[in-house]
Structure 1
Amino acid sequence: MDDQTKLELEAAAFRRLQKHLMQDRPDVQNIDMMNLAGFCRNCLSRWYQEEANARGIDMDKDQGREIFYQMPFSDWKAQYQTEASDSAKKAFEASHK
Structure 2
Amino acid sequence: MNQQLRDRLDAAVLQRLLKHLDSRKDVQNIELMNLAGFCRNCLSKWYTAAAKDLGADVSDDAARERVYGMPYADWKRLYQTDATPAQAAAFEQAKPKD
Give aligned-pair identity as a percent.
Answer: 51
Opposite residue 5 of structure 1, the aligned amino acid is L
TM-score (norm 2): 0.91
1:55 Cα shift? Answer: 1.9
Query: How far, CA to CA, are the matches of 1:87 and 1:68 in structure 2?
Result: 26
Gaps of 5+ in 2: none
CA-to-partner distance for each residue in 1:47-96, whole Å, 9 max, x for gaps? 00011112222223222111221210000111111111011001101112
TM-score (norm 1): 0.91
Q: Secondary structure at the match of 1:50?
A: helix
Q: Number of residues paired by the alignment?
A: 96
Partner of 1:62: 61
Partner of 2:17: 17
Partner of 1:47: 46
1:38 Cα shift? Answer: 0.2
Q: Secondary structure at the match of 2:77?
A: helix
Opposite residue 72 of structure 2, the aligned amino acid is F
Following superposition, which runs of at least 4 residues in structure 1 exceed 3 angstroms of deviation?
A: none
Gaps of 5+ in 1: none
Partner of 1:34: 33
Partner of 1:3: 3
1:7 Cα shift? Answer: 1.1
